[in-house]
Chains A and B, each alone.
Chain A
């Protein structure tokens, strides 16, 4: 069955970077884009960007341009989302989701930014 398994919770200080992983299984990793979506406490879902695992092409939401980098390692069917220059407003649960339909989601990774 399709599964996206994310790395564990992180606590970071303001100004630091965080890198969250998303390991895919149960399907051909290079056949579907991986999207990254976050939800801050009490807020809605917010799309951050995507990666095409086959080509490595990426696209980012304008809000995160320059601060987010999404990569992939096809040999281990894993996508990564790195967010830099963290601030308190980046405290959120970060999700990866498969494909154009976002049909399968990871379990979420809580990133807490606090001094």
Chain B
């Protein structure tokens, strides 16, 4: 069971906007930045969003992140077939001596 909670699946049609939620607690999302990764089978995960809502260079502005309290969300607008992948949220957790926590992942299907 992951410390951060994500829906196991999401779907949308091309051109639609989809959002993926990520729920945590005061020791992780509530007090630290949230990061989002895209993971295609057989490849390395790719950083999509860092520090809650910033995009690395090369990531399309169709991807956006937000955070409120102990929850965060990833929004993908203008959905494309190549967006079909697994998406993970992550945050540092201040419990114990500190550690990274990931969500369980959300499989996005483009119908």
The interface size of chain B toward A, counting residues with CB under 8 Å, comes to 25
Knowing A95-B44, A103-B47, the reply to whether A46 touches B102 (Cβ < 8 A) is yes
Q: Is the CB of B99 within 8 A of A102?
A: no
Task: Report the Cα distance A101→B34, complex, angstroms.
Answer: 9
Q: Is the CB of A102 within 8 A of B44?
A: no
Contact with A along B72-111 (1 / 0, CB 8 A): 0000000000000010101010001111111111000000
Q: How many A-B residue pairs have CB under 8 A?
A: 55
**Which residues of B line the A interface, CB within 8 A?**
2, 35, 37, 39, 44-47, 50-51, 56, 86, 88, 90, 92, 96-105
Q: A61-B99, A101-B35 are in contact. List 6 more A-B contacts (CB 8 A).
A: A37-B100, A44-B88, A45-B105, A47-B102, A100-B92, A102-B45
